[in-house]
Amino acid sequence: MKTVSIADVIIGEGTPKIIIPIVGKTEAEILAIAKEAGQSVCDLLEWRIDHFESVQEKSTVASLSKKVKEICGKPLLITFRSFKEGGVLDISDAEYFQIYNDLIENGTFDLLDIELFMPEVEVSQLIDKCHSKGIYVVLCNHEFHLTPSKDTIMERLKSMEAKGADICKIAVMPNSGDDVLTLLNATYERKQEAKVPLITMSMGNLGMISRLSGEVFGSSATFGALGEVSAPGQMPVNDLSLIIKKLKLS
């Protein structure tokens, strides 16, 4: 399996890498969290730009990405989570792609989160543009109400890889212990054939074990909170780090 290497962080090797989401609304809040996160035990930062109050102002995100990257000093993933997949701002697909294209052209960051079920042609163009700029692509899908079947989860992860993802990510909502097992089984089976790293999680308290056991089942990264969470089930980053170290296989 290929790994994704950014500076001294290798995704797809060893213990799951810890990602802290930045969900500030103002530039001052975002930079303050980035500074604190940069000094924490995390491996990467995710800037959730759908929370940023000025995300729709032309070139503002691209400009601020340079400051975030500089102040945190760690690999930076940028994500606009669409409203239909759990984000906080409802915009058109056209605006989603406009923001991302400006970011790729004018911003500074390492990885871009792109949703699998956005329009196929535009997604393909974004992936190609990212790769031409040396930016890694995280193709993703989020189900906030249910857990699809094991075959469906595996098929979506397989589709992401076929479309050119450097990392394939899926997050699902469990309604029972069986749902958590479905996600873990799908991750483990897909890992046997996947040629790129996977990030998978079962959300909420019920699925919290999936955020801790990635080294066993095949998820290469996990999200820990530094204050406000970006999804249900994220635990404080220091607690997450301690548990992952305890569960380390070797």
Q: Identify which of 76, 68, 148, 74 has the alpha carbon closest to the alpha carbon of residue 116.
A: 148
Predicted confidence (pLDDT) per residue in 45-68, tens digit: 999 999 999 999 989 999 999 999
Distance between CA atoms of residues 149 and 186, nearest Å? 9
Confidence of residue 232 (pLDDT cuts 50, 70, 90): confident
Cβ atoms 204, 174 nearer than 8 A: yes
Q: Identify which of 104, 105, 106, 96 has the alpha carbon closest to the alpha carbon of residue 56.
A: 96
Joined tokens for residue 19 = 């990602």
pLDDT of 230 over the 70 cut: no
Q: In whole numbers, what is the pLDDT of the chain averaged over residues? A: 95
Q: Which long-range contacts (CB under 8 A, 24 or more apart) does 149-154 make?
A: 149/182, 150/182, 150/185, 150/186, 150/189, 153/182, 153/183, 153/186, 153/187, 153/190, 153/200, 154/186, 154/189, 154/190
Where are the domains positioned within the chain?
A: 4-240
Q: Is 102 helix (H, G, I), strand (E, B) or coil?
A: helix
Predicted confidence (pLDDT) per residue in 138-189, tens digit: 999 999 999 999 999 999 999 999 999 999 999 999 999 999 999 999 999 9
The whole-number pLDDT of residue 161 equals 98
Q: Which of 51, 69, 74, 169 is catalytic?
A: 169
The whole-number pLDDT of residue 67 equals 98
The whole-number pLDDT of residue 228 equals 67
Q: Is 183 helix (H, G, I), strand (E, B) or coil?
A: helix
142 is catalytic: yes
The whole-number pLDDT of residue 1 equals 85
DSSP string, 119-177: -HHHHHHHHHHHHHTT-EEEEEEEESS----HHHHHHHHHHHHHTT-SEEEEEE--SSH
Q: Which of 51, 142, 150, 191 is catalytic?
A: 142
Residues 6 or more apart in contact with residue 28 via CB below 8 angstroms: none
Predicted confidence (pLDDT) per residue in 214-228, tens digit: 999 999 999 998 876
CATH of 4-240, one of 1.10.3720.10, 1.20.80.30, 3.40.50.740, 3.20.20.70: 3.20.20.70
Give the number of C-alpha atoms closer than 13 A to the C-alpha of residue 199, restricted to the C-beta side.
24
The whole-number pLDDT of residue 233 equals 72
Q: State pTM to two decimals.
A: 0.96
Distance between CA atoms of residues 189 and 47, nearest Å? 30
